[in-house]
Amino acid sequence: MDRTVLHVDMNNFYASVELLTRPDLADKPVIVGGDEAKRHGIVLAKNNLAKSYGVKTAETLYQALQKCPGAVVLPAQHDKYRHYSVWAKLLYREYSDRVESFGPDEAWIDVTELNRSGAALAHEIQNRVKSELGLPVSIGVSWNKTFAKMGSDYKKPEGITVIGRENYKDLLWPLPVGRLLFVGRVTAQRLTQIGIETVGELARQEPEDLRYILGKNADRLIYSARGEDRSPVLTAEEMGHQKSIGAMHTTDHDVRDPEDIRKLLWDLSGRVAERAVRAGLKGRTVSITVRYQDFSQHSRQRSTAYLMQDQGSIFEQAWILFEAGVSENLTKQGVRLLGVSLEQLEDETLPQQVSLADWAKCYTSE
Ligand SMILES: [Mg+2]
């Protein structure tokens, strides 16, 4: 029997949380930024209106404000987002033990055992998150995690999309191959270059033929595109423990432009986030490693009061570290290796640290 898997995605999560206490900003472009006191603060989230001006996550506030001078920039309040994140997952846990976080604002819920219509459950959960937390979510419903995730992406904000065996080829196969879960930008480019432009075209390939591009991920990606992702929605207990999760990049030339470094750090943060998500872990410390052309190497680390798992939060710390310690050396020496890692890991899927007092405090803080 097919499983019933939901994927719930909170729409414009940080910005939506901010708008709860700032309804006056509902019709204005809103950007949630890193450290706004800093000249090089970055965009962590934006609402749809800011998006329509071309504002992108991870660009500098300076770049964003060039495109959208009227945007209201709000500082990020991670403790507050975390409370909403945990509260939403508590709500999902009323439906199943199998609630697997995928970043602060996304989760899969395996509701097979409830024996109810996935679409009806999706409507119920969407309504409850809206009325109990005040936040908009979109939900995908399918028999596997990959398609459920693509379903929640299909119609935003506040969409509900059922991806069934009768319609997945119509709805998902025409999409660009980069929309498939875990196909990153570089992989999508390489697939497109050899003529595989859509999810459906990838589904029709044989893993052996694409091993030279996709490596060991060839099977997983192709089977996922075919609707054969059998990975279970993990319970918190099933998620493992590790000491740190890292990613690094070695360049074949000296990198001196801070803009190039920023992009590399963003990509590395994304890889770390993806691994953290897959392992079901979050961390309090980010460290970066920089090696210069003379092979001297520097590591710096920075801890936060909140747990990080998403690309934006990890990148924010990595960029602060880079700015604080490394950028002035760039004019003297180019960078040859960059690494980002997440440490002090904890299983954050269990809502152990939330008390009502914390919740009340969070709810009233501005
Ligand atoms: Mg979201």
Q: Kindly give, in sequence order, each residue whose CB lies less than 8 Å from that of residue 281, ignoring residues fewer than 6 positions away.
A: 239, 241, 242, 245, 309, 342, 345, 346, 347, 348
pLDDT in tens, 36-49: 565 568 888 899 99
Supply the CATH classification number for the domain 13-76: 3.40.1170.60
Supply the CATH classification number for the domain 240-347: 3.30.1490.100
Residue 70: helix, strand or coil by DSSP? coil
Confidence label for 349 from pLDDT (cuts 50, 70 and 90)? low
- Catalytic residue status for 106: yes
Confidence label for 103 from pLDDT (cuts 50, 70 and 90)? confident
Read off the pLDDT of each residue in 277-288 and give the average, rounded to a whole number: 84
Q: How far is the CA of 211 from the centre of ligand 1 (A)?
A: 31
Q: What is the pLDDT of residue 364?
A: 32
Distance CA 129, CA 8 (A): 10
Strand spans (E) along 54-152 = 72-75, 99-101, 106-110, 137-142
- Residues having C-beta closer than 5 Å to ion ligand 1: 9, 13, 105
Q: What is the pLDDT of residue 330?
A: 59
Cβ atoms within 10 Å of 275's Cβ, excluding its own:
16
Q: What is the pLDDT of residue 327?
A: 58
Q: What is the pLDDT of residue 343?
A: 87
Residue spans of the domains in the chain: they are 13-76, 240-347
Q: How far is the CA of 3 from the centre of ligand 1 (A)?
A: 24
Same fold, 13-76 and 240-347: no
Which helix (H) or strand (E) segment holds residue 169: the answer is: helix 168-171
Kindly tell me if the per-residue pLDDT of 186 is higher than 60: yes
15 close to 47: Cβ distance less than 8 angstroms: yes
* Between residues 344 and 161, the one the model is more confident about: 161
Q: In what order do the strands lie in the sheet with 43-46?
A: 43-46, 30-33, 72-75
Q: How far is the CA of 63 from the centre of ligand 1 (A)?
A: 23
Distance CA 213, CA 268 (A): 19
Q: What is the pLDDT of residue 53?
A: 95
Is the full-model pTM beyond 0.95? no
Residue 365, sorted as left (phi over 0), alpha (psi -120 to 50) or beta, turns out to be: beta
Distance CA 123, CA 164 (A): 17
* Between residues 59 and 297, the one the model is more confident about: 59
Strand partners of residue 287: 301, 341
